[in-house]
Amino acid sequence: MSASSQNPEVQETLSDNHFVLTVPVEVNAQVVLVGRSNPEQLDYSIRNRTSGISATFDFEVGPLVTHLYQVINRGPSAVSSATLDIFWPSFAENGKHLLYLIDFPLVSSYGSSAKCRIKQSQNVNPESLTISNEHLPEDNVQRRFKRSAEHELKLREVKQDLRDAVRLAKEAGPGTAVAYRGGLSRISVRRFRRSAEHELKLREVKQDLRDAVRLAKEAGPGTAVAYRGGLSRISVNCNDLNCTHIECDLGPLKKDEFVLVEIFARLWLNTLIDDNIFEADISSLALAKVSTLPNAPHSAPLLLAVTTDVNPTDPELYRREVPWWLYVLAALIGLVILALLVLCLWRCGFFKRNRPHSEKATLDRSFGEREYYADATTRYARPLMYSQAEHGEPL
């Protein structure tokens, strides 16, 4: 604060014309992150296998699943900028399709601006299915989300550039980088070998994702929690984690302004049926962070998981018929156990039979060969033992 006067003033008193005054300013903005799944629970039949990758339309691979995320500023202060990062489970652990993205996110806002981009844009309809636009309101089908002929032509050109780049790299030989002057930008063809350190880093990030999902679920459905873990926009590389990273830059957000992000996908039923994934809950994960809030300390990002519960309508088919090879394997295991048991008993001498000593009769030739007697009761009788009453008449 400074004061000035038109009256003449002595030079020595000019210093008291300035005064430093500290005014406390409180900047507070309550940013809220909410989300939900539509539908929250999805029922399907194990009997209804779909066409899979041979399908023509998107509705042939599975039912529609939509996850909605909304960032709201409850005020009272305005937020200059914020970020929203969504990690989408496009694939299962084995690399098969899971929540198959059929379109780019639909972003709508009230009084604010927002822009979202998909870092792995190749994960949007990778099988080139014909999109039925079932997920879009009728007024948006023609206006915003139906691809024009010019856009389709551009997509074909980019795909052709990708094929040419791959062919060029293969011609150069394995492990060889080549100079590229085609239509693609920021491309270098190199052989990437995962080191042990890289694999360890992947396992750590996967564990961080699992811990984050568990933390968000413990908070309750639709409830965001403050997150102080290791996940961030930089640390998660969905190229190696079978996921899709959706980045959104928001702001400015004044009081009661919001941004809504809708993500559309198809549940790939064949993956659940083939891999025996029953009664599963499939979650996407979101991190919302205030990037710029003047004269305020940085707050912890908000963490939220949106979950779709998947349940079969025919649980009796859980107990599938036992494969024939299991019977064969069980029989072979039984025979091996029996052979080992017999071998052990043989080594212990169980099969050695101790025969009793046989008594051999000695032929007494002092008697004549014809002096033997026999009847039905006594087979042989010597003359000294013969009794007519017992043995009858001699032969």
**Residue 54 near residue 128 (C-beta atoms within 8 A):** no
What is the C-alpha separation between 347 and 40, in angstroms, rounded?
65
Q: Please report whether residue 381 resides in a domain.
A: yes
Residues 314 and 330 in one domain: no
Burial of residue 82 (CB within 10 Å: 0-12, 13-18, 19+) is: buried
Residues 84 and 213 in one domain: yes
**Residue 61 near residue 328 (C-beta atoms within 8 A):** no
| Section 135-162 average pLDDT | 57
Q: Please report whether residue 234 resides in a domain.
A: yes
**Residue 87 near residue 243 (C-beta atoms within 8 A):** yes
Burial of residue 102 (CB within 10 Å: 0-12, 13-18, 19+) is: buried
Q: Among 123-127, 145-149, 286-290, which is the least confidently predicted range?
A: 145-149
Q: What are phi and psi of 284, to 5 degrees?
A: -105, 155
| pLDDT over 60 at 367, yes or no | no
Q: Please report whether residue 221 resides in a domain.
A: yes
Q: Please report whether residue 70 resides in a domain.
A: yes
Q: Please report whether residue 174 resides in a domain.
A: no
pLDDT-based confidence at 138, cuts 50/70/90? low
Q: Among 146-150, 193-197, 200-204, 262-266, which is the least confidently predicted range?
A: 146-150
Long-range contacts of 145-150 (CB under 8 A, 24+ apart): 145/103, 145/106
* Dihedral sign computed on CA atoms, order 334, 340, 343, 345: negative
Residues 84 and 58 in one domain: yes
Per-residue confidence (pLDDT) for residue 259, from 0 to 100: 94
Residues 346 and 371 in one domain: no
Residues 211 and 286 in one domain: yes
Per-residue confidence (pLDDT) for residue 358, from 0 to 100: 61
| Section 340-368 average pLDDT | 71
**Residue 1 near residue 19 (C-beta atoms within 8 A):** yes
Q: What are phi and psi of 225, to 5 degrees?
A: -130, 155
What is the C-alpha separation between 246 and 244, in angstroms, rounded?
6
Q: What are phi and psi of 2, to 5 degrees?
A: -135, 155
* Higher local confidence (pLDDT), 2 or 122: 122
Residues 236 and 311 in one domain: yes
Residues 98 and 236 in one domain: yes
- Please report, for the domain that includes residue 238, its CATH number: 2.60.40.1530
- Domain extent, residue 100, equals 29-136+197-318
Q: Please report whether residue 191 resides in a domain.
A: no
Measured CA distances, 322 to 182, 314, 315, 325 (Å): 55, 18, 16, 8
> Would strands 41-44 and 302-312 be described as parallel, antiparallel, or unpaired?
parallel
Q: Please report whether residue 160 resides in a domain.
A: no
Residues 337 and 238 in one domain: no
Instruction: Dump strand ranges (E) for 277-337.
Output: 280-292, 302-312
Per-residue confidence (pLDDT) for residue 378, from 0 to 100: 47
Residues 215 and 285 in one domain: yes
Residues 343 and 371 in one domain: no
The pTM (predicted TM-score) of the whole model is 0.63
> Would strands 258-267 and 64-76 be described as parallel, antiparallel, or unpaired?
antiparallel
In the block, tokens 């052709």 appear at 160
| Section 127-142 average pLDDT | 74
Q: What are phi and psi of 288, to 5 degrees?
A: -115, 130
What is the C-alpha separation between 71 and 51, in angstroms, rounded?
37
**Residue 332 near residue 294 (C-beta atoms within 8 A):** no
Distance, C-alpha 106 to centroid of its chain: 24
CB atoms within 10 A of CB 288: 27
Most confident by average pLDDT, 16-25, 37-46, 59-68, 136-145: 59-68
Q: Please report whether residue 389 resides in a domain.
A: yes
Q: What is the DSSP string of 98-129?
A: SEEE-SPPEEEEESS-EEEEETTGGGBSTT-P
The answer to whether the peptide bond before residue 383 is cis (omega within 30 degrees of 0) is no
Q: How many domains does the chain have?
A: 3
Q: What are phi and psi of 207, to 5 degrees?
A: -65, -40
- Give per-residue pLDDT as tens, 91-133: 998 899 999 999 999 999 887 789 999 999 999 999 999 998 8
**Residue 303 near residue 286 (C-beta atoms within 8 A):** yes
Per-residue confidence (pLDDT) for residue 309, from 0 to 100: 93
What is the C-alpha separation between 293 and 80, in angstroms, rounded?
6
Residues 302 and 338 in one domain: no
> Would strands 225-226 and 258-267 be described as parallel, antiparallel, or unpaired?
unpaired
Per-residue confidence (pLDDT) for residue 295, from 0 to 100: 63
- Give per-residue pLDDT as tens, 228-279: 888 888 888 898 888 999 999 998 888 889 999 999 999 999 998 888 777 7
Residues 393 and 269 in one domain: no
